[in-house]
Chains A and B, each alone.
Chain A
Amino acid sequence: MSEVRLFDLLADRATQGLSAGDSVELDRLLADAPDVDAFEFERVAGAIDAALASTPDEALPADLRARIETDAQQVLASNLVVRNEARSLPRTAARRAPAPRRRWLSALGWAAAAVLAGLLFLPPTIESGRDPVDLRAELLTADAMTVAWSPTGDVSGPEASGDVVRSSERQSGVMRFRGLVANDPAAFQYQLWIFDETRDERYPIDGGVFDVIREGEDVYVAIDPKLHVRNLLSSPSRSRSQAASLCPVASESPSWPQSRAERAVLDYLALAASRGRPPSNHTP
């Protein structure tokens, strides 16, 4: 009976969405059925829609199309250069990514074990588009500091680890994440935000998304030169229970004066699994 209920809920989610209560029930049923593909029905519904949809009777409105193309330029120039690399790890039992929660409640809080001090403000011409694995290797031979991440027990990464390698001299850095649960990008993606402690905590100053394609792979994320950050600070004791916007916020505030004190720090680096839906109060 529970299997029928499981697939009924998956069918509901793929066609009409779930109530909060049903979503919780689905999470519980999926936790007991690790071999079930949690997003298969959604892909099937997408295929049905694509197969049966009639030829559109109206083209995309011109002004809307222009906005979409502008969004595309921003997204394609996203500040996250990501590379996924398989590791040679002992094989573990195959796990499906847990069904993402309906709201922004499942935040994986990460905190560096120590403060990375120094200036991260980078001119726009440095390191753009560099392969992050190569960059990290290069930084490690220079004066780079290495700070390890520590997980907070979220289901997305109970055994996760990683580090940040950053060079003050080179004004460049690479984040590495290990052990995150693989995600289906059609369902959810990992969201990386950077917050400025001195600014409105609802709005990250920068961010982006990435995916974990295979269980056990390393994910390398280059810290983009457009990121206007003074000091990167993380607090091991803090973790967010709710995430802010998915939409990449402009990474550099035109009004942020260069003379602002070096004391401007980031609150912390937060990593969360999300649906990619901006909050209703988000103003880019």
Chain B
Amino acid sequence: MAQSLLQRIAAVDENAVRECLDVHGGRVWALARRFSPDRADAEDAVQEIFISLWKSASRYDAERASEAAFVATIARRRLIDRLRARGSRVQTVPIEEHDVAGRHPAPQAEAALDLVRVRDVMNELDAGPRRVLELAVVGGHSHSQVAEATGIPLGTVKSHVRRGLQRVRDALASVGEGDR
């Protein structure tokens, strides 16, 4: 089996660094811009994210998650930490204008098995819970912001987020057990 980019980076393959930036750089940049108050802050965040990624590369486990999911997890962690450190939430785009899933989602054929399963599960959710999960996770909006924008009580928003994550978690567990 060919080594992943992260495995090659862990083996100190500098070409893999460039390839990793080609593959994941744009998405990390887009994620950072969603979570950051301005472009300069997003740039700092992206630098931090990739430093963390270079250091974590040796521990990437392809059996556990796709590379894209691993990168996104590390990126989100840094970005949420930065938000908390600033003591603020970001409202880069008004929620009603924010097309969370994007008009041009990455082609299905390119997505790893876990990501395909995630999309399937998200499509199985009722519209309300799905929208809440999209806004909270992909949109980077606080639960209060989601409650205010959707008119759904805050407690219900939190329940939707928790149950949605649990449902996707269970679906990913079945990917790990049954599809190898």
**Bound form: Cα–Cα A273–B114 in Å:** 30
Interface string of B145-167 (1 = CB under 8 A from A): 00000000000001001100110
A47 contacts B72, C-beta separation under 8 Å: yes
Interface string of B109-150 (1 = CB under 8 A from A): 001001110110010000000000110111000110000000
Instruction: Provide the residues of chain A in CB contact with B136, threshold 8 Å.
Output: 15-16
Q: Does A32 contact B (CB under 8 A)?
A: no
- Distance (Å) between the CB of B122 and the closest chain A CB? 7
Known: A45-B137, A72-B54. A11 touches B102 (CB 8 A): no
Known: A11-B162, A57-B30. A68 touches B12 (CB 8 A): no
Chain A residue with the shortest CB-CB distance to B56: A185
**Bound form: Cα–Cα A59–B133 in Å:** 26
Q: Which of A42, A72, A276 has the most CB of B within 10 A?
A: A72
Q: Which of B59-73 contact A (CB under 8 A)?
A: 59, 64-66, 68-73
Known: A7-B166, A45-B76. A186 touches B83 (CB 8 A): no
Chain A residue with the shortest CB-CB distance to B84: A17
Q: Does A48 contact B (CB under 8 A)?
A: yes
Interface string of A184-201 (1 = CB under 8 A from B): 011101000000000000
B47 contacts A76, C-beta separation under 8 Å: no
Chain A residue with the shortest CB-CB distance to B101: A52
Q: How many residues of A contact B (CB 8 A)?
A: 61
A42 contacts B162, C-beta separation under 8 Å: no
A52 contacts B122, C-beta separation under 8 Å: yes
**Bound form: Cα–Cα A220–B55 in Å:** 17
Number of A-B pairs whose CB atoms are under 8 Å?
Answer: 212
B30 contacts A71, C-beta separation under 8 Å: no
Give the dominant DSSP class at B's interface: helix
**Bound form: Cα–Cα A41–B133 in Å:** 12
Q: Does B43 contact A (CB under 8 A)?
A: yes
B115 contacts A50, C-beta separation under 8 Å: yes
Chain B residue with the shortest CB-CB distance to A80: B55
**Bound form: Cα–Cα A275–B79 in Å:** 12
Interface residues of B (CB under 8 A from A): 9, 12, 14, 17-18, 21, 25-31, 43, 46-48, 50-52, 54-56, 58-59, 64-66, 68-78, 80-81, 83-85, 89, 99-106, 111, 114-116, 118-119, 122, 133-134, 136-138, 142-143, 158, 161-162, 165-166, 168-169, 172
Contacts A/B (CB < 8 Å), 7 sampled: A16-B89, A47-B114, A54-B102, A55-B106, A59-B26, A65-B21, A75-B51
